[in-house]
Copies of this chain bind each other. A is one copy, B any other.
């Protein structure tokens, strides 16, 4: 138990990342039951679907206080998502992809714990100034949407720790307990893992998507679409199409046209590994099984302790 555990009412300083099409009520509830933060990824959900997943998660866990929603601040229904989450009993809200000034004061007034996702120490300071209770510092190696300055987790976390007094949760490139121990040495109060939780029994990722993670290797992902919104993609045919367009000098409009509608759902929920968009992080290369969330969390904690020298000194 450290400060972050107390803040989030969790046993272990781990957050299961909110991920589009992957982290619904089932995964979030399993995470809460396992003693960590269970995050419902609202990015891909219409308000009524989000309400359904929150209700489902609350029905599946005796620890609803460990449930959170991740709401990217870039859709027109953001306010509606936030209001219904609070009405449904959610008290921890993770915001991303927008300014921490927009909703933090209002969320705090509703009694929420507020965490904002940042890819730079400058934005981290703005989060603290806006009243956020913690920040998630996410590096270049993370799956999905990503910062423009390409700062890696190892370089980012100590800078963010030096910039703010609130707890810092490290994200990006963490797939086992060694990574958790490493980011805590950098000063993080905890770790957020995404890709590792895609390959769990309780994740709603399509089985094909889970298998793609298991068979991925060191060079299986790349940060693409930088002229639109940088996103780390799994290298499949869709990635090759994006690559070809970019090599031809395509602009944001061409990329948006290729992306179209429903590419991410097609890949991650429907399991189309050819035409679908698959968002995973570099650490997929370390993921080699599909455990239950309970078994995974127990293993992460064992590995984290084993990664540290028993004496508190390496040599």
Contacts and interface: CB of A to CB of B under 8 A. Distances in A.
A14 to B, nearest CB: 11
B151 A154 contact: no
Given A159-B286, A178-B187, A223-B150, A2 B218 contact: no
A149 interface: yes
A283 B121 CA distance: 13
Contact of A185 (B5, B178, B315): B178
A81 B235 CA distance: 40
A218 B307 CA distance: 29
Nearest to A177: B185
A247 B187 CA distance: 38
Contacts of A153: 152, 154
Question: How many subunits of this chain does the assembly comprise?
Answer: 2
A152 B139 contact: yes
Given A176-B158, A183-B182, A141 B152 contact: yes
Interface in A133-160: 139-141, 148-156, 158-159
Contact of A222 (B141, B150, B218): B150
A40 B218 CA distance: 30
A56 to B, nearest CB: 30
20 contacts: A2-B315, A121-B218, A140-B141, A141-B155, A148-B219, A152-B152, A152-B153, A153-B154, A154-B154, A154-B173, A155-B281, A155-B286, A158-B179, A162-B286, A178-B187, A182-B183, A184-B314, A185-B307, A308-B313, A310-B312
A307 B151 CA distance: 21
A227 to B, nearest CB: 10
A181 B122 CA distance: 25
Interface in A99-153: 120-122, 139-141, 148-153
A92 B12 CA distance: 44
Given A121-B218, A173-B155, A2 B179 contact: no
Given A122-B218, A152-B154, A153-B154, A178 B173 contact: no
**Overall SS of chain A's interface:** loop
A262 interface: no
> What band does the interface of chain A fall in when counting residues whose beta carbon is under 8 Å from B?
35 or more
A311 B121 CA distance: 30
A282 interface: yes
Contacts of A185: 178, 181-182, 185, 307-308
B151 A218 contact: yes
B152 A282 contact: yes
A186 interface: yes
Contacts of A174: 154
A253 interface: no
A157 to B, nearest CB: 8
Nearest to A223: B150
